């Protein structure tokens, strides 16, 4: 393995594993605070919405535009986003939902594990192509790759929070929350390794753009179908809304600090 390849892999690994920094927050959280649960889910929704519209879709349009031109790139991005959203809807249709029993006054803790699990899957889908893109950038220009990797690492911290918190509140296990957060982050270096071993001859900007747009559609569906409704079931709908707004704001700010 040459030095350039090694550097690109290290950048991707460091960027992906930074999601664990966000999971550290669970060690400073009261495990039975429903207010914090509501805020965490709202924040996670905001993070996913922001990642979709301020990160994934612009990247998709830029990548696809290399082949199609700017105007057609917007059309293709919307089409691939709709395909991703439709795929999430079809999958969700076949996954059983547990209903909220208002007569027993049960809080929707039974839904938290599902919400955390789908959040982890969404972040894995997001981080996998991001790992490929980070590796390719680092391989072609190590200095540029390091800058991008550092920005992505900081960017991934709130994503770690959005995975760890619902899993922690659902299972009451810090180890389980850390494990799921690790799985969401490790998708990034896995993407980089596959890019190095297998995918390099087949990867092009159009394919990456299509993947980014489809993942945006999946994240948007999860945010509005899973995260936001569950966050409001705890009786703190205004706090959940404010937390969603915080999640939407923090993602572009986290990128702007280091870019």
Q: Which structural domain range is residue 147 located in? A: 3-21+38-97+139-258
In a domain, 130, yes or no: no
In a domain, 28, yes or no: no
In a domain, 203, yes or no: yes
In a domain, 30, yes or no: no
Question: Which of 139, 148, 120 is CA-nearest to residue 22?
Answer: 120
Enumerate residues 6+ apart whose C-beta is below 8 A from 24.
Answer: none
User: What confidence score (pLDDT) does residue 105 get?
Assistant: 45
217 neighbors 80 (Cβ within 8 angstroms): yes
In a domain, 75, yes or no: yes
In a domain, 118, yes or no: no
Spell out, as residue ranges, where the chain has pLDDT lower than 50.
Answer: 99-106
In a domain, 82, yes or no: yes
Please count the structural domains in the chain: 1
Name the CA radius of gyration of the chain, rounded: 18
In a domain, 33, yes or no: no
Q: What does the alpha-carbon distance between residue 226 and residue 229 come to, in Å, rounded to a whole number?
A: 6
Question: Using a CB cutoff of 8 Å and minimum separation of 24, what contacts does 92-99 make?
Answer: 92/221, 92/225
């Amino acid at each position: 393995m040459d030095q350039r390849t090694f550097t690109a892999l290290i950048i991707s690994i460091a960027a992906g594993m930074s999601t664990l920094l966000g999971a550290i927050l669970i060690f400073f959280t009261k495990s039975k605070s429903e207010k914090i649960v509501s805020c965490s889910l709202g924040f996670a929704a905001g993070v996913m919405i922001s990642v979709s519209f301020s990160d994934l879709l612009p990247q998709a349009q830029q990548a696809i535009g290399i082949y199609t031109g700017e105007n057609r790139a917007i059309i293709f991005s919307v089409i691939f986003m709709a395909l991703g959203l439709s795929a999430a809807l079809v999958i969700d249709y076949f996954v059983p939902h547990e209903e909220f029993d208002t007569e027993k006054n049960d809080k929707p803790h039974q839904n938290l594990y599902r919400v955390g699990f789908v959040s982890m899957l969404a972040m894995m889908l997001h981080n996998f192509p991001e790992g490929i893109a980070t590796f390719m950038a680092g391989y072609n220009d190590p200095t540029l790759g390091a800058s991008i990797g550092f920005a992505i690492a900081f960017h991934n911290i709130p994503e770690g929070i959005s995975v760890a918190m619902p899993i922690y509140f659902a299972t009451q296990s810090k180890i389980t929350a850390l494990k799921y957060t690790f799985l969401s982050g490790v998708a990034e270096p896995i993407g980089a390794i596959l890019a190095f071993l297998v995918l390099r001859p087949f990867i092009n900007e159009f394919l990456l753009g299509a993947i980014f747009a489809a993942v945006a559609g999946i994240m948007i569906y999860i945010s509005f179908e899973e995260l936001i409704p569950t966050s409001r079931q705890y009786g703190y709908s205004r706090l959940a809304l404010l937390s969603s707004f915080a999640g939407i704001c923090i993602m572009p700010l986290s990128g702007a600090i280091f870019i």
